[in-house]
Structure 1
């Protein structure tokens, strides 16, 4: 069984037992969370598509870690104008493990 969920402005195709890094959510490590923005659920040839979400569908997940991704370096330059700008960014994430999908 698989599902397509929406969290943090992004969509993910997930299955039970899968580990996933999503946008940071306020939860403690080891805490069980529920994701109710389920856009579609499928198993084999059968698929349920919501409008916009599947009614009654819930995904349960466990929080494994909170962390930060690798640094992304941003460098802007205008040649012959004596302009250079260096900047970096590290995005926060929450790592979760999908426990169950119910439709």
Structure 2
């Protein structure tokens, strides 16, 4: 069984037992959370789509860790204008383990 969930402005296809990194969620490490924005639920050949959400479907997940992704370097330059700008960014994330899908 799998589900398509929406969190942090992005969509993820998840199955029970998977680990994934999503945008930071304010929850303690080891806490169980419920993701209720489920867009689709599938099992085998059957798929149930929501309009926009599937009624009564939830995904249970456990917070494993919080962290920061690798640095992304931003470099801007205008040729022949003596303009160079360097900047870096590290995005925060929350690592989740999907416990169960209730559809």
TM-score by structure 2 length? 0.99
Separation (CA, whole Å) in 1 of partners of 2:37 and 2:64: 20
Separation (CA, whole Å) in 2 of partners of 1:25 and 1:33: 10
Which residue in the other structure is 1:2 paired with?
Answer: 2
Structure 1: 5+ residue stretches without partners: none
Which residue in the other structure is 1:50 paired with?
Answer: 50
Which aligned segments of 4 or more residues in structure 1 are displaced greater than 3 angstroms?
none
Structure 2: 5+ residue stretches without partners: none
Separation (CA, whole Å) in 1 of partners of 2:78 and 2:91: 27
Separation (CA, whole Å) in 2 of partners of 1:16 and 1:2: 7
Which residue in the other structure is 1:34 paired with?
Answer: 34
Q: What displacement does 1:50 show?
A: 0.2
Which residue in the other structure is 2:71 paired with?
Answer: 71
RMSD: 0.3
Number of aligned positions between the proteins: 103
TM-score by structure 1 length? 0.99
